[in-house]
A = this chain, B = another copy of it.
């Protein structure tokens, strides 16, 4: 068992009989150093497999080359696609990623944020937890001069860069699609209304109804955005079922859970009740009938978030105005509606 053998520039300097700064400079091709010395040093560094100590570098530069990410839950397909987009671009640009899950919990979210600040990340990407109602914990990042980019579940109260899909439009086209198939009594399974995505998708739903002279009824909007909640509201939904012909769910998994309950009670999808999801994850093509839904580009949103962040990182002083990048949602028509 050979002992851990990590060379530092100091070791190299000593072994080669030059000064530490010469080594440092040679390694980064500083013009002052003679090419002989450079060659010598580089060859030796290569030979002993020298690797700069990132920790020391970060401390010195006051820059960690690390991006922090706070995400409600990795297990959701949408969010894991986002992560892939973030990671691909971030690593390409020489940044590392620290990923934290808030588990839909505001307190945890605040802790995550503190952790990231403590680690002196250069910037933070965040999608809000479902329970988050105040935003003071984000202030601290801002006070520390750490740029924030919100994506998907963004925060209106805070000035910052944002990456979203046009959720209003998404809700609108989803509902329009149901109407265009002839649905006249459409319920909406909605996310909490303090979440922008919840509010916007719902507003889009309402707008679509109104523009077709259909009545917007509060009793047809259920706060229900997980399969578990569908179970809880099972009876309520089944009571509504005889009077409705369409459902617009705020995400795929909720739509799927609704389909399953309805089918078990002998409703035909889409003939009796047409069902729209939102997200277009892999589940959409596993359920029967395959789910008609709204496409949400997680991977691309992830990349775009990093792009916005890098822009800001590379223009530190610049008073760039905060940007909001909005993706256009698109319908993915299959069989459920």
A96 touching B98, Cβ below 8 Å: yes
* Contact A99 to B101, CB < 8 A, known contacts A83-B74, A145-B4, A256-B286: no
Complex partner residue of A98 from B51, B59, B97, B283, CB under 8 angstroms: B97
Residues in B neighbouring A145, C-beta threshold 8 A: 3-4
A115 within 8 A of B: yes
A144 touching B74, Cβ below 8 Å: no
A320 within 8 A of B: no
A160 within 8 A of B: no
Distance, CA A3 to CA B144, complexed state (A): 8
Distance, CA A52 to CA B114, complexed state (A): 12
How does the 8 Å CB contact mask read for A247-277 relative to B, with 1 for contact and 0 for none? 0000001001000100000000000000000
Chain B proximity of A259: nearest CB distance (Å): 9
Distance, CA A32 to CA B262, complexed state (A): 70
Complex partner residue of A53 from B91, B120, B144, B283, CB under 8 angstroms: B120
B74 touching A96, Cβ below 8 Å: no
Distance, CA A253 to CA B77, complexed state (A): 14
* Nearest-neighbor residue (CB-CB) of A4 within chain B: B145
A75 touching B81, Cβ below 8 Å: yes
* Nearest-neighbor residue (CB-CB) of A81 within chain B: B75
A282 within 8 A of B: yes
Copies of this chain held together in the complex: 2
Distance, CA A99 to CA B119, complexed state (A): 15
Complex partner residue of A2 from B6, B114, B143, B288, CB under 8 angstroms: B143
A22 within 8 A of B: no
Complex partner residue of A87 from B56, B97, B101, CB under 8 angstroms: B101
Complex partner residue of A51 from B49, B54, B118, CB under 8 angstroms: B118
A55 touching B53, Cβ below 8 Å: no
A64 within 8 A of B: yes
* Contact A5 to B115, CB < 8 A, known contacts A74-B74, A83-B74, A120-B53: no
A5 touching B286, Cβ below 8 Å: no
Interface residues of A in 70-86 (CB under 8 A from B): 73-75, 77, 80-81, 83-84
Residues in B neighbouring A118, C-beta threshold 8 A: 51-52, 54
* Contact A55 to B101, CB < 8 A, known contacts A6-B144, A96-B115: no
* Nearest-neighbor residue (CB-CB) of A108 within chain B: B91
How does the 8 Å CB contact mask read for A43-61 relative to B, with 1 for contact and 0 for none? 0000001011111101100
Residues of A bordering B, CB below 8 Å? 2-6, 49, 51-56, 58-59, 64, 73-75, 77, 80-81, 83-84, 87, 91, 96-101, 114-115, 117-120, 140, 143-145, 253, 256, 260, 282-283, 286-288
| A-B CB proximity, top 7 nearest | A4-B145, A74-B80, A75-B80, A55-B59, A286-B286, A55-B58, A54-B118
Seed contacts A4-B144, A74-B80, A75-B81; 9 additional CB < 8 Å A-B pairs: A51-B117, A55-B58, A59-B59, A73-B84, A74-B83, A97-B99, A256-B286, A287-B287, A288-B288
19 contacts between A and B (CB under 8 A): A4-B143, A5-B143, A52-B118, A54-B119, A54-B120, A55-B55, A55-B58, A55-B59, A55-B119, A73-B84, A74-B74, A74-B80, A80-B80, A84-B101, A96-B119, A97-B99, A256-B286, A286-B287, A288-B288
